[in-house]
Amino acid sequence: MSSAPEDTGDDVFDQFLSQRGHETEPVRWERNYNKKQCPECSGLHDLSASECSVCGWSP
Q: Which residues bind Zn ion (CB under 5 A)?
A: 38, 40-41, 43, 52, 54-55, 57
Give backbone dihedrals phi and psi of 32, rounded to 5 degrees, phi first.
-130, 100
Beta carbon of residue 31, minimum distance to Zn ion (angstroms, whole number): 15
Instruction: Please identify, using beta-carbon distances, which residue of 5 and 26 lies nearer to Zn ion.
Output: 26
Beta carbon of residue 23, minimum distance to Zn ion (angstroms, whole number): 22
Instruction: Please identify, using beta-carbon distances, which residue of 35 and 43 lies nearer to Zn ion.
Output: 43
The secondary element (H helix, E strand) that includes residue 59 is: none
**How far apart (Å, rounded) are the C-alpha atoms in residues 55 and 39?**
10
Residue type, 50: S
Beta carbon of residue 42, minimum distance to Zn ion (angstroms, whole number): 7
